[in-house]
Structure 1
Amino acid sequence: MNPTERTAVELAIRYERSQGRKVTYVGDGWPSPGLAGEVREWGQGRHPGARSFTCDLVSREPDGSFARLIEVKGKGSRRSSVPIIDRQREAMLGLGPDWWLYVVLDCDTTPVLVVVREPSRLPWKLITPARELLEGRFRGVGDEGKWGTMPADVLAAGEQVDVPS
């Protein structure tokens, strides 16, 4: 994880904890098959047909119930688009209000957390189409399509929140 991503994830975790929720980082893979299964069962129960549950953070209420699945994006500045890949877009579209986007802008100076519920409302544009693969070849992250939306759109649709130190 690079320093910008680390700043963004740490800020998002601090915010979730300040709201009384319990957070598990899953950005580098599910820490247990049990958690992955629980998330899949919860997500499919709420959104039949959902196939992707990718996220960086799994947030739970104090009683242990799932609160939200969170994708975290960090930007050093506000000049370039906020990207997501195909599997993140699929989760966003399939899980609706249960999949959140937390964007931390200005990570290199004074980080600002913007929380977006239902980020499918943002104007996403295809930046790079998915790479065509030979039959039977596994699609890796680098082979997926890349979508982007601008920080100004994130700010307009989201809520800038205060994060306690």
Structure 2
Amino acid sequence: MSISLNTIVTGMNGGPEAIQQNFNNVKNELDRMNGSIVDIPKEQFTPINGLTVDSNSCYCRIYKFNNFAIITIGASVGSVTMKSWAFKEAVTIPKSYLNGFSKFRNFKDTRQITDDGWLYDSNFDVTKGLLTLYTRGNEYNNKSLGLDVAGILYN
């Protein structure tokens, strides 16, 4: 939180106005920080490219503020059949939930691991409302994978 406040001294000309301006600055900053929370219903998750999705595993919560939002999103996808070192678009959500944000930055590494110890990456494309999957050194034959992403949306 960054607020610029006016210095006020005893007997200052315009002191009451400066005090009021300081209160307004604090109120405006608190209003700016006060956001809203949006939960995307699991029925809004659509698997693509021949994958399936366990709708009971789908979650997305967006913490919206004036100029940015924090998003946590995930889904369990099945029927993953891919060569090693391959990219696939996996699951979409309606872009209307993203309020026109055009950029996304992960909070953590995109790398995930299967029960077998295989590495893969999941990511989120804000311009398409899309969870993606990138296999690493293993070939996947009808596997199920969890895609989990958290980060910040901004312009």
TM-score higher than 0.5 here?
Answer: no
Higher percent of residues as strand: 2
Pair member with larger Rg = 2
Higher percent of residues as helix: 1
TM-score by length of 2: 0.30
